Amino acid sequence: MIDVAIAGAGPNGLMLACELALAGIRPLVLERFTEPSTEQRANGLVGQVVRMLDRRGLYERLAGPGATPEPVSGYVFGAFPLDLSDLPDNPLYTLMVPQRRIERMLAERAAELGIEIRRDHEVIGLTQDEKSVTVELRGREPVEAAFLVGADGGRSAVRKLTGIGFPGVTADDSVSRTGQVSVDPGMVGADGGLVVPGFGTVPPFQHLRTERGLIAWAPFPDRDPVITTMEWDQPAEGEASLDELRASASRVLGADVPLAPPTGPGPHVMRRLFGGNTRIAEHYRAGRVLLLGDAAHVHSAIGGPGLNLGLQDAVNLGWKLAAELRGHAPEGLLDTYESERAPAARRVAMHTQAQSLLVQPGGQVTALRELFGELLAQPASRQHIADLMSGADITYDMGPATGPLVGRWAPDLPGLREATRAGRPLLLDPTGTLDAGPWAPYVDTVTVPELDTALLLRPDCYVAWQGTTPDGLHDALGTWIRTA
Do the strands 2-7 and 140-150 form a parallel or antiparallel pair, or are they unpaired? parallel
Do the strands 116-119 and 27-31 form a parallel or antiparallel pair, or are they unpaired? parallel
Model confidence, pTM: 0.94
The pLDDT score that the predictor gives to residue 2 is 96
Q: Write phi, then psi, for 127 (nearest 5 degrees).
A: -135, 150
The pLDDT score that the predictor gives to residue 40 is 65
Classify 2-167+278-390 by CATH class.
alpha beta
Between CA 484 and CA 468 the distance in angstroms is 28
Is residue 147 within 8 Å of residue 133, measured between CB atoms? yes
Q: What is the 3-state secondary structure (H, E, C) of 403-439?
A: CCCCCCECCCCCCHHHHCCCCCCEEEECCCCCCCHHH
Kindly calculate the radius of gyration of the chain based on its CA atoms and give it in whole angstroms.
Answer: 23
Question: Which amino acid makes up residue 95?
Answer: L
242: closest CA among 269, 221, 215, 265? 269
425: closest CA among 293, 328, 307? 328
Between CA 338 and CA 333 the distance in angstroms is 10
Fold observed for domain 408-480 = Glutaredoxin (3.40.30)
Question: Which amino acid makes up residue 130?
Answer: E
The pLDDT score that the predictor gives to residue 121 is 98
Is residue 227 within 8 Å of residue 187, measured between CB atoms? no
278 strand-pairing partners: 169
Decide: helix, strand or coil at residue 476: helix
The pLDDT score that the predictor gives to residue 203 is 94
Q: What is the 3-state secondary structure (H, E, C) of 80-122?
A: EEEECCCCCCCCCEEECCCHHHHHHHHHHHHHHCCCEEEECCC
Please list, in sequence order, all residues whose beta carbon lies within 8 angstroms of the beta carbon of residue 55, skipping any fewer than 6 positions away. 416, 417, 420, 421, 461
pLDDT along the chain (484 residues), means of 10: 97 98 97 83 88 97 95 95 95 93 96 98 97 97 98 97 96 91 94 95 94 93 91 86 95 95 89 92 98 97 93 98 97 98 98 95 95 96 97 96 96 90 96 94 95 96 96 96 90
Per CATH, the number for 171-277 is 3.30.70.2450
Between CA 461 and CA 459 the distance in angstroms is 5
The pLDDT score that the predictor gives to residue 313 is 98
Q: Write phi, then psi, for 466 (nearest 5 degrees).
A: -145, 135
Question: For the chain, what's the residue count?
Answer: 484
The pLDDT score that the predictor gives to residue 212 is 93
Between CA 95 and CA 419 the distance in angstroms is 22
Is residue 261 within 8 Å of residue 182, measured between CB atoms? yes
The pLDDT score that the predictor gives to residue 414 is 83
State the chain's maximal CA–CA distance in angstroms: 72
Is residue 307 within 8 Å of residue 45, measured between CB atoms? yes
Kindly list the domain boundaries of the chain, sorted by start residue: 2-167+278-390, 171-277, 408-480
The pLDDT score that the predictor gives to residue 223 is 85
145: closest CA among 163, 160, 157, 158? 158
Same fold, 171-277 and 408-480: no
Is residue 24 within 8 Å of residue 44, measured between CB atoms? no
305: closest CA among 264, 349, 273? 349
CB atoms within 10 A of CB 324: 18
272-227-37 Cα angle (round to 5): 60
Between CA 314 and CA 27 the distance in angstroms is 13
